[in-house]
Structure 1
Amino acid sequence: MTTLKALEHQKKQIHVGLPQLRSGMKVKVWYKILEKGKSRTTFFEGIIIAIKHGQKTTNSMFTVRKIAVDNIGVDMTWPLHSPVIEKIDIIQVAKTRRNKLYFLRDKSKKQVRAKLRKHTVFKEIIAPAVEETAETPEEESKTTE
């Protein structure tokens, strides 16, 4: 009986609307901070260097790294289904060959950008949308004539 209750409790904690995350993605994580009894939302933008314990379990974790001022690296690790996380925005997708990108900790910001090649999928998605918006003013001018 206790295992059934535990499973029900875990199902309640899982966020449904989170995107499918992969190592190498550049993301913006929006999370809540409690300061002096008040709650505010801030974000942390960086590259996902590790995802642990999968994504469908309640104990899954992910680590995001950003390189701040003067090449100082900052890592933050969150539980994926934490109530502190409000949303995760995917900014960029990079093609990586490894699942754990801990070797990026030794690299500078410029070296990291060179190491993570841009994935061509976003270019294919964005290009048709730009072409459609360019065609619509021409079509409107033809219909008015």
Structure 2
Amino acid sequence: MENLVKFVQDEFVTRKEFPQFQAGDTITVYYEIREGEKTRTQFFRGTVIQRRGSGSSETFTIRKMSGTVGVERIFPINLPAIQKIEVNKHGKVRRARIFYFRGLTGKKARITEKRRG
């Protein structure tokens, strides 16, 4: 049964090509919002807290601070409304899921940038 589900997901679900990102990275997700007949593009910039699942059912969670309130949003990786994903910074973290990040405020909530090259 699992093989059948995997076959259908691989064959019929269209996958978009996005850059590689992981927990700790700061990314910007551009997605389309439909309001009645109109459509507009909105972006959500924040830190990736986790990537979960595999294949077509994979999701990722982004957290940003809006004023003093933390806002989290979960995106499916193959959501048709996602137009593009930009990686702004690669963060240096030691875990795949950084839920401890929710409890940090101020200077403690900074993630050091990973050096490339």
Same fold (TM over 0.5): yes
Identity across aligned pairs (percent)? 29
SS at match of 1:111: helix
Tell me the equivalent position of 1:107: 104
TM-score, normalised to structure 2, is 0.88
Runs (4+) of structure 1 exceeding 3 A deviation are 3-7
Size of the aligned set, in residue pairs, is: 112
Q: Is contact 1:31–1:84 with CA below 8 Å preserved after alignment?
A: yes
TM-score, normalised to structure 1, is 0.72
Are residues 5 and 77 of structure 1, via their aligned partners in 2, closer, same or farther at CA, if it must alter by over 3 Å?
A: closer
1:86-101 map, 5 Å = 86-101=83-98
1:57-81 Cα deviation digits (max 9, x unpaired): 1000000000111x20000001011
Tell me the equivalent position of 1:21: 21
* Alignment root-mean-square deviation, CA: 1.4
Larger RCO: Structure 1 or Structure 2 (Cα < 8 Å, ≥ 6 residues apart)?
2
Task: Structure 1: state its 5+ residue gaps.
Answer: 125-145
Structure that is richer in helix per residue: 1
- The separation in 2 between residues aligned to 1:5 and 1:14, in whole angstroms, is 13
Are residues 74 and 107 of structure 1, via their aligned partners in 2, closer, same or farther at CA, if it must alter by over 3 Å?
A: same
Kindly name which structure, 1 or 2, has the bigger radius of gyration based on alpha carbons.
Answer: 1
1:1-145 map, 5 Å = 3=4, 4-5=7-8, 7-10=10-13, 13-15=14-16, 17-54=17-54, 57-69=55-67, 71-113=68-110, 116-121=111-116, 124=117
Structure that is richer in strand per residue: 2
Task: Structure 2: state its 5+ residue gaps.
Answer: none
